[in-house]
Structure 1
Amino acid sequence: MTTVTVWNEYRHERNDEEAREVYPEGIHATIADFLEDEGFETRTATLDEPEHGLTEEVLDDTDVLTWWGHEAHDEVEDEIVERVHERVLSGMGLLVLHSGHFSKIFKRLMGTTCDLKWRNEGEKERLWLVEPGHPIAEGVPESIEVPEAEMYGERFDVPAPDTLVFNSWFEGGEVFRSGCCYRRGSGRVFYFRPGHETYPIYKQPEIQKVVANAVSWATPISNSDTSFGNVPKPPEDG
């Protein structure tokens, strides 16, 4: 069974009444609950726990890590970022959600600023599925409408995705690459744009389906170690 650690900054839901009304137990609890309903083994971790809840033991027992952060990216300790980075390169899957685009770990993996345009006026978003044959798209409709969302617009300063699964359109006319797949080392990374803290986006069944599919896609195929370094010459046939 795939083990998922759902990481959340967990600041807005404690300090902002509007966010608390939408996610009274935190965004992490909502995501962990629907992933558990999909058959995954889940645990949660948050910024203010010791080692941000991402100890060596937790990460060693994590197949896929989901990441939501916003106002406290700089408070994530570099040692923990390095720990997560090493685990991704070794095969752990990583799902970076919404404002997690500006997290230390995503910027480290992308090697760019990961900056973008934004506007928060509760506009309608329509996600268009542009790669229907991808595993993340299984059972997902051609388009998903999010009634109220924070706008993200291009240019999104990330490397060209290995596969682009979703594009977003907003009422103001902006578009955005909102479902981006990458491979880093042995690990699979998926960036998924929807998920502002004051809108109930993670309660939408279509969004939940995408996240669950992405967890399955990012799950390591094999736990076997990859070997490197000098190797002896194979014996000659005969």
Structure 2
Amino acid sequence: MTTVTVWNEYRHEQESEVVADVYPDGIHAVITDALESRGFETQTATLDEPEHGLTNDVLDDTDVLTWWGHAAHDEVEDEIVERVHQRVLDGMGLIVLHSGHYSKIFKTLMGTTCSLKWREAAETERLWVVEPSHPIADGIDEYIEVPEAEMYGERFDIPAPETLVFNSWFEGGEVFRSGCCYTRGNGRVFYFRPGHETYPVYHQDDIQQVLANAVEWAAPGDESTPEFGNADPIEAIDMTDERSVH
């Protein structure tokens, strides 16, 4: 069974009544319940736990990590970011959600600022499926309508996605690349835009289905692990050259 660790900054829910009304037990609780109901084994981790809840033991037991952060990106310790980064390179899946685009781990994996335009106006978002054959879009109609959303607009300063699954249109007129797939080392990374803390986006069944699909896609498979380093020749060759400085 695929094991998912649902990571949440978990600050807004404790500091804002508006957010607590939408996510009384935290955004991570809603995502965890959604994934558990679809057959995944789950555990949670939050910013203020020791090592942000992402100990070596936790990460060693994690097939896919989901990441939601917003107001305290800078408080995530670099040592933990590097730990997560190495696990992704080794094959762990990572799903970065909404304002997690500014997280240290996502910026590290992308190598760019990951900046964008934004606006909070509770406007309609239409999340169009532009790659319907992709596993992350399985069971999703032509588009998902989010009645109240925070606008994210282009230019989104990220590398071109290997696959773009969703593209958003907003009531105010902007568009945005909202479902972006990448490979980093042996790991798969998916950025999924919807999910502002004051709107009940993660309560939507179709959004939950995308998250479950993304977990399935990002989970490590049976792919062979590439070998690196000094290699013996496949064919017989002269190995007497002594000019190496290694």
Same fold (TM over 0.5): yes
Pairwise mapping of residues 140-179 of structure 1 onto structure 2 (< 5 A)? Answer: 140-179=140-179
Q: TM-score, normalised by structure 2?
A: 0.94
CA distance in 2, matches of 1:211, 1:134: 13
| RMSD, aligned CA | 1.0
In structure 2, what is the equivalent of residue 210 of structure 1? Answer: 210
Aligned runs of 1:114-153 on 2, under 5 Å? Answer: 114-153=114-153
Question: Structure 2 regions of 5+ residues with no counterpart?
Answer: 237-246
Quote the residue 2:52 is aligned against. Answer: 52
Whole-angstrom CA distance in 1 between matches of 2:62 and 2:224: 15
Aligned to 1:68: 68
CA distance in 2, matches of 1:205, 1:130: 20
Larger radius of gyration: 2
Whether 1:4 and 2:11 are equivalent positions in the alignment is no
Give the structure 1 partner of residue 89 of structure 2. 89
Secondary structure in 2 aligned to 1:32?
A: helix
Distance (Å, rounded) in 1 between the aligned partners of 2:156 and 2:232: 46
> Which stretch has the larger CA shift, 219-228 or 172-181?
219-228
Distance in 2, Cα, partners of 1:5 & 1:197: 19
Moved more, 89-98 or 221-230: 221-230
Identity of aligned residues (%): 76
Instruction: Say if 2:189 is the partner of 1:185.
Output: no
User: Could you say which residue in structure 2 is the equivalent of 1:38?
Assistant: 38
- CA distance in 2 between counterparts of 1:228 and 1:49 reads 36
Shift of 1:149: 0.4
Report deviation, 1:225.
Answer: 4.4
Q: 1:223: how far off?
A: 7.5
Letter in 1 for 2:154: E
Q: State how many pairs are aligned.
A: 236
Letter in 2 for 1:135: P
Deviations 1:82-131 (A, max 9, x none): 00000000100000000000000000000000000000010000000000
Q: Give the Cα separation in 1 of the matches to 2:180 and 2:224.
A: 26
For 1:37, the aligned partner's letter is: S
Divergent runs of 4+, >2 A: 222-227, 233-236
How far residue 235 of structure 1 moved from its aligned partner, in angstroms, is 6.4
Q: Deviations over 1:191-235 (max 9, x none)?
A: 000000011100100000000000000000137643211122236
